[in-house]
A and B are shown apart, each in its own frame.
Chain A
């Protein structure tokens, strides 16, 4: 029987893969991919709690849709920043992006 904790374990594993990607990747786009994995893990958690704890309501799904909308806004802005940095200074690696540091 598949219960709530199975889904939570899968989501925890996905979140940790996202954390690893965010910490260790050199390319800024790979870091954005890690953030997407973390957001997906949180969405799986919300929907699983909705399904197993309050099956007569849809609040978890509504929250997940809000998170998907905010993630879309975040990834579009992040890519715009990466593109403009690449065009003006030819930077892709995040450890070289130190313009704000004096």
Chain B
């Protein structure tokens, strides 16, 4: 368990850093795909098996492929220099490192209460009950949101007359 946690975390952070550092946008998209697989592995370690499958299906299968399509459809100039930083590089570095220092300090100094580890419920059954009984209104709203997003994407993306 401990080795797997460090392995998945190292893969995740290394691939995410590679995504940010690489100047080739196609390489960035492929490295991002790998980091999404590592996130799915972390979900498996946290006993969220259904969520790990959803992560692979939606993020790796849909969102990453969609971003690759976006990269290929909007090419301008050389692909080797398609992912350059703008003039706010130092400001961004300072902001990100400062934010990480702040978060890391508050995480390590907080004493989280540790309740006794109970046996987790049957994952898929419990999630289905939560979706269809407790959060049914939010579930329907999410469906309507996705429908509106599809219609809006078609409307924005279609050829102007």
Contact = CB atoms under 8 A, between A and B. Distances in A.
A95 B70 contact: no
Contacts of B69: 79
Interface residues of B, number: 87
Contacts of A26: 83-86
Which secondary structure characterizes the binding site on chain A? helix
Please indicate which of the listed interface residues A30, A68, A87, A90 has the most CB atoms of chain B within 10 Å of its own CB.
A30
Please indicate which of the listed interface residues B2, B16, B131, B157 has the most CB atoms of chain A within 10 Å of its own CB.
B16
Nearest to A6: B5
Contact of A5 (B36, B70, B107, B131): B107
Contacts of A90: 76
Contacts of B76: 86, 90, 92
Contacts of A17: 13, 16-17, 19-20, 96
A48 B46 contact: yes
Contacts of A6: 5, 9
Contacts of B13: 10, 13-14, 17
B155 to A, nearest CB: 8
Nearest to A59: B130
Contact of B112 (A4, A37, A86, A92): A4
Contacts of B29: 33
B39 A62 contact: no
Contacts of B120: 51, 55-56
A41 to B, nearest CB: 9
Contacts of A75: 63, 66-67
Interface of B: 1-2, 5, 9, 12-13, 16-17, 19-20, 25, 28-29, 32, 35-36, 39, 42-43, 46-48, 50-51, 54-55, 58-59, 62-63, 66-67, 69-71, 73-74, 76, 82-86, 88-89, 91-93, 95-97, 99-100, 103-104, 107-108, 110, 112-115, 117-121, 123, 126-127, 130-131, 135, 138, 142, 145-146, 148-150, 152-154, 156-157, 159-160
Given A23-B96, A47-B42, 17 more contacts: A9-B107, A10-B13, A14-B13, A17-B96, A20-B95, A24-B93, A37-B16, A43-B51, A55-B115, A58-B121, A62-B130, A64-B48, A66-B142, A79-B66, A80-B157, A83-B70, A87-B159
